C-alpha cells in the first residue's frame, strides 16, 4: 500500500524524537483483519515499551503526539488493544490504488527485490523410465509457480529439468523393452526383476519394431536403450505441454561425464582432504560436516567400480554455481529429503566458497487422487501409478494446476477429481475464474472494453460501500502478497488470496449493480482493476482467466 512508506517514515521520526531510534524499514505495518482496527496498524509501541520503560499504551500515545504525517493521508488514529496504533486512511487515499493498478496493468504486483540476479529452479527431473505420475504433476505446478513468483519479484529465472540418462534404472528400462520385443516375437516373457511392467513398455517395443525392422530381436541393447529414452522423453514432454509447463534447460547427467565435471569435482574433494578409501570404495567424510555416517562416492570394483549418484549430484550443483546462479532452488518429493544434507555437505567439502544453504529445497508430500469417494491408484498404461496425463484429460489443465497449488507443499494433498470437475462455487478454481468472468460480463453487457474505464475524473468517494472498501484494500495488498509468497516459496498464498478476492467480488456483485447506477463510472473502474488483479494472480499461477465460462 502506497501509504505505508510515509507512515513508516513518520513513525521512525517520532520514535527518534522519543529517544528510541528505529530504522524505518524495521517498522512493521500490517493490515488488521478487523476493519474496526483501521486500514494500517503497527505494533511499534509494543516493541519500544521495554526500551522506553513505559507501558505500551503510554508509548503509543506519545508516539502519536510526536507524529507528523503528510496532510490528507490519514483521517483518524487510534490506540487499541495492548498498544497497537491503528491508522484510518482518508478515502481518497484508498481509492488511489485504482490508478496504481490500472497504470501498471498486467505488471501490477511485480517487484524488483531480486535485482535481476540469476536463480535456477530445478523441478520434475523425472528419469525417462515411464510417464509422469501425479506427484510429478504437483511438482511441475509447484516449480513453475515458484519460478513465476521469482520472476515477478525481479529475479532472472531459469527453469531446469535434470535427468539421468545412463543409470541402472535406465538399464532396467532397456531390458524391459527388449524383453517385450522378444515377447512380441513369440518368446516367453522375461522382464527382469526390478524391471518395468507398464503397458507403455509394450508400446515402445512395438514402435521399436516398426522403426527398426532390421533388428527384430532388439539384439542391440544400447540401441534399444537410446530409443526407449527418446520415446519416453517425447512422452514426458507431451505431459508437460498438457500442463503448460516449459523448461529453459534440459540437463543430462551424462554431460557431466563427457565434460569431465564429475572427475574434476572428485579431484577437488580429494585435494581438499575429505576423502578416504576403505573396502576398495572411495568415501567422502561427510561426518566432518555433521552427517551421521560417511558416504560412498565410488563403489568398489566388485560392485562395478562406478560412481554413486551422490558424486554427479554434487558435480551438477557445482555446475549450477559456476553458471553464476546466486540461488538454486530444487523442488523435489519429500521422499528424497535425505539428499538435501548430502549434496550441501558435498558442496561445502569442496571448500570453494559455496554457501552452506546452497541449494535451497522445496520438498512436497505425496498426492492422493480421490474419485467417487475412493482412491484412484491404478493406471493401465503406467502399470501401477496414476499419470498426470490421465488427470489432465479428466479435469483439465487449469484445475490440475490450481489444485496442486492450493495446499502448502509440505502437507499431503488430496486431489478430489469430482470437485475439480464441478462447475459450482464449491470448486475454488471455478469460483475464482467465475469472478473474473462476471466482471468481464459487465463490460460485455455495457458494450465496451474494460480498458475504456478510466479513473480520470471519477469521484473516488463514490466507492464507499463496505464491500468496495474491502476490494480496494485487497487490491492494495496484492504486491506485498506476491513478495511474501516469493520469499517463502509458497504459491498457495496466491490461491488463498485469489479466493478471498473472489469472495468479495461475488458479494459485491450480488449486492450492487454497476450499469445504470449513479456510481457507474466509479464502479466500472473498480471492476476493471479487480478483473486485472484476478487475471494477474491466475496468470502467475499458470491458470487461465476466462472472460466467459
First to last CA, the chain: 32
Q: In terms of Cα–Cα distance, which of 271, 200, 144 is closest to 542? A: 144
Report d(CA 443, CA 451) in Å as an integer. Answer: 10
Q: Which is it for strands 413-416 and 367-371: parallel, antiparallel or unpaired?
A: parallel
Interface residue with RNA, options 209, 215, 496, 539 (CB under 7 A): 496
112 lies in the site for RNA, by CB under 7 A: no
DSSP secondary structure of 28-64 = -EE--SSGGG-SEEE-HHHHHHHHHTS-HHHHHHHHH
- Contact track, RNA, 347-386, x by CB under 7 A: ----------------x-xx--------------------
User: What is the distance of C-alpha 434 from the center of its chain?
Assistant: 23
Is the Cβ–Cβ distance between 284 and 294 less than 8 Å? yes
Residue number with CB closer to RNA (127 or 544)? 127
Q: Does 412 bind RNA (CB under 7 A)?
A: yes
Q: Which member of 425, 449, 451, 459 binds RNA (CB under 7 A)?
A: 425
Sheet with 281-284, side-by-side order of all strands: 275-278, 281-284, 295-298
94 makes contact with RNA (CB under 7 A)? no
Per-residue binder mask for RNA (CB under 7 A), 49-88, x = binder: xx-----x-----------------------xxx-x-x--
Q: What character string, x for contact with RNA (CB under 7 A) and - otherwise, covers 457-486?
A: ------------------------x--x--
Kindly state the smallest distance separating residue 522's Cβ from RNA, in Å: 13
> For residue 72, with 0-12 CB atoms within 10 Å meaning exposed, 13-18 middle and 19 or more buried, which class applies?
exposed
Indicate the residue among 42 and 532 with the shorter CB distance to RNA.
42
| Residue 444 lies near RNA (rule: CB under 7 A) | yes
Nearest to 382 by CA among 135, 73, 16, 211: 135
Cα–Cα dist 52/256, whole Å = 60
Question: Cα–Cα distance between 532 and 509 in angstroms, integer?
Answer: 16
Cα distance between residue 501 and residue 275, in whole Å:
56
Residues found in the chain: 549
Residues in CB range of 214: below 8 A, 6 or more apart: none
Nearer to RNA, 171 or 184 (CB): 171
Q: Which residues share a beta bridge with 160?
A: 122, 249
- Interface residue with RNA among 2, 16, 35, 36 (CB under 7 A) is 36
Per-residue x/- mask for RNA, residues 123 to 142, rule CB under 7 A?
----x---------------
503 scored as a contact of RNA (CB under 7 A)? yes
Q: Is 303 in the site for RNA (CB under 7 A)?
A: yes
Dihedral over Cα of 72, 76, 79, 85: its sign: negative
| Cβ atoms of 305 and 318 closer than 8 Å | no
- Scan for cell 466482471, then name that residue: 439
In angstroms, the CA 45 to CA 316 distance is 50
Q: At closest approach, how far in Å is the CB of 212 from RNA?
A: 27
- Quick one: which segment of 65-73, 236-244, 267-275, 513-521 binds RNA (CB under 7 A)? 513-521
Contact stretch for RNA (CB under 7 A) within 17-25, 174-182, 373-381, 434-442:
434-442
- Residues of this chain, 159-188, that bind RNA according to CB under 7 A: 164, 167-169
Q: How far is CA 62 from CA 52, 56, 67, 104, in A?
A: 11, 10, 9, 39
Query: Of 16-24, 37-45, 239-247, 351-359, which segment contacts RNA by CB under 7 A?
Result: 37-45
Q: Any contact of residue 436 with RNA (CB under 7 A)?
A: no
Q: Which of 179, 183, 126, 119 is closest to 149 using CA atoms?
A: 119
Minimum distance, C-beta of residue 240 to RNA, in the bound complex (Å): 18
Shortest reach from residue 304's CB to RNA, in Å? 7
Distance in Å, CB of 209 to RNA, minimum: 29
Which of 181, 442, 526, 543 forms a contact with RNA (CB under 7 A)? 442
Site residues for RNA, 179-238, by CB under 7 A, read none
Across the strands, what pairs with 12? none
Q: Is 223 or 408 the residue whose CB approaches RNA more closely?
A: 408
* Binding range to RNA, per CB under 7 A, among 242-250, 304-312, 343-351, 391-399: 304-312
The DSSP-derived string for 275-314 is EEEETTEEEE-GGGGT-SS-EEEE--GGGTSPBPTHHHHH
The reply on whether position 493 binds RNA by CB under 7 A is yes
Q: Verify binding: residue 434, RNA, rule CB under 7 A.
A: yes
Is 152 a residue that touches RNA (CB under 7 A)? no
Tell me how far, at minimum, the Cβ of 188 lies from RNA, in Å: 27
Rounded CA separation 397/240 (Å): 10
Q: How far is the CB of 246 from RNA (least distance, A)?
A: 23
- Cβ at position 169, least distance to RNA in Å: 6
The residue within the footprint of RNA, chosen from 317, 348, 438, 528 (CB under 7 A), is: 438
| 369's grid cell | 487422487
- Residue 416, Cβ neighbours under 10 Å: how many? 17
C-alpha cell at 182: 522378444
Q: How far is the CB of 31 from RNA (least distance, A)?
A: 7
Between 291 and 394, CB nearer to RNA:
291
Q: Which is nearer to RNA, 107 or 293 (CB)?
A: 293
Amino acid at each position: 500500500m502506497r501509504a505505508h512508506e510515509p507512515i513508516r517514515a513518520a513513525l521512525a521520526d517520532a520514535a527518534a524524537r522519543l529517544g528510541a531510534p528505529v530504522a524505518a524499514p524495521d517498522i512493521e505495518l500490517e493490515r488488521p483483519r478487523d476493519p474496526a482496527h483501521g486500514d494500517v496498524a503497527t505494533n511499534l509501541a509494543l516493541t519500544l515499551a521495554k526500551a522506553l520503560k513505559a507501558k505500551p499504551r503510554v508509548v503509543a500515545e506519545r508516539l502519536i503526539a510526536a507524529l507528523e504525517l503528510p496532510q490528507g493521508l490519514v483521517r483518524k488514529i487510534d490506540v487499541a488493544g495492548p498498544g497497537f496504533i491503528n491508522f484510518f486512511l482518508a478515502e481518497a487515499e484508498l481509492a488511489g490504488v485504482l490508478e496504481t493498478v490500472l497504470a501498471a496493468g498486467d505488471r501490477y504486483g511485480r517487484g524488483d527485490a531480486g535485482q535481476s540476479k540469476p536463480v535456477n529452479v530445478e523441478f520434475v527431473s523425472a528419469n525417462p523410465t515411464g510417464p509422469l505420475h501425479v506427484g510429478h504433476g504437483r511438482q511441475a505446478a509447484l516449480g513453475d509457480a515458484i519460478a513465476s513468483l521469482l520472476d515477478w519479484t525481479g529475479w532472472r529465472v531459469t527453469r531446469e529439468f535434470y535427468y539421468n540418462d545412463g543409470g541402472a534404472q535406465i538399464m532396467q528400462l532397456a531390458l524391459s523393452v527388449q524383453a517385450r520385443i522378444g515377447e512380441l516375437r513369440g518368446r516367453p516373457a522375461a522382464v527382469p526383476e526390478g524391471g518395468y511392467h507398464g503397458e507403455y513398455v509394450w508400446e515402445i517395443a512395438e514402435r521399436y519394431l516398426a522403426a527398426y525392422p532390421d533388428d527384430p530381436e532388439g539384439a542391440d541393447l544400447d540401441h534399444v536403450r537410446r530409443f526407449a529414452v527418446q520415446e519416453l522423453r517425447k512422452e514426458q514432454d507431451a505431459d508437460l505441454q498438457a500442463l503448460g509447463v516449459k523448461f529453459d534447460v534440459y540437463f543430462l547427467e551424462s554431460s557431466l561425464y563427457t565434460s569431465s565435471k564429475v572427475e574434476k569435482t572428485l579431484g577437488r574433494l580429494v585435494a581438499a582432504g575429505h576423502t578416504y578409501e576403505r573396502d576398495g570404495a572411495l568415501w567422502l567424510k561427510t561426518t566432518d560436516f555433521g552427517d551421521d555416517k560417511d558416504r560412498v562416492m565410488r563403489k568398489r570394483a566388485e560392485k562395478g567400480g562406478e560412481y554413486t549418484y551422490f558424486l554427479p549430484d554434487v558435480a551438477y550443483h557445482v555446475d549450477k554455481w559456476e553458471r553464476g546462479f546466486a540461488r538454486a532452488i530444487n523442488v523435489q518429493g519429500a521422499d528424497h529429503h535425505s539428499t538435501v544434507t548430502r549434496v550441501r555437505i558435498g558442496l561445502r567439502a569442496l571448500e570453494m566458497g559455496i554457501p552452506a544453504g546452497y541449494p535451497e529445497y522445496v520438498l512436497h508430500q505425496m498426492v492422493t487422487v480421490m474419485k467417487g469417494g475412493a482412491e484412484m491408484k491404478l493406471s493401465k498404461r503406467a502399470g501401477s501409478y496414476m499419470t498426470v496425463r490421465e488427470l489432465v484429460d479428466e479435469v483439465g489443465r487449469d484445475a490440475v494446476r490450481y489444485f496442486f497449488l492450493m495446499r502448502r507443499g509440505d502437507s499431503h494433498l488430496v486431489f478430489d477429481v469430482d470437485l475439480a470437475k464441478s462447475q459450482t462455487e464449491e470448486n475454488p478454481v471455478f469460483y475464482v475464474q467465475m469472478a473474473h468472468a462476471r466482471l468481464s460480463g459487465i463490460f460485455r453487457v455495457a458494450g465496451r472494453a474494460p480498458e475504456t474505464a478510466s479513473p480520470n475524473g471519477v469521484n473516488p468517494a463514490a466507492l464507499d460501500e463496505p464491500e468496495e472498501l474491502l476490494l480496494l484494500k485487497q487490491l492494495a495488498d496484492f504486491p506485498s502478497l506476491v513478495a511474501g509468497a516469493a520469499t517463502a516459496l509458497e504459491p498457495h498464498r496466491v490461491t488463498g488470496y485469489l479466493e478471498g478476492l473472489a469472495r468479495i467480488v461475488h458479494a459485491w456483485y450480488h449486492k450492487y449493480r454497476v450499469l445504470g447506477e449513479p456510481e457507474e463510472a466509479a464502479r466500472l473502474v473498480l471492476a476493471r482493476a479487480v478483473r486485472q488483479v484476478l487475471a494477474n494472480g491466475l496468470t502467475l499461477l499458470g491458470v487461465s482467466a476466462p472472460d466467459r465460462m
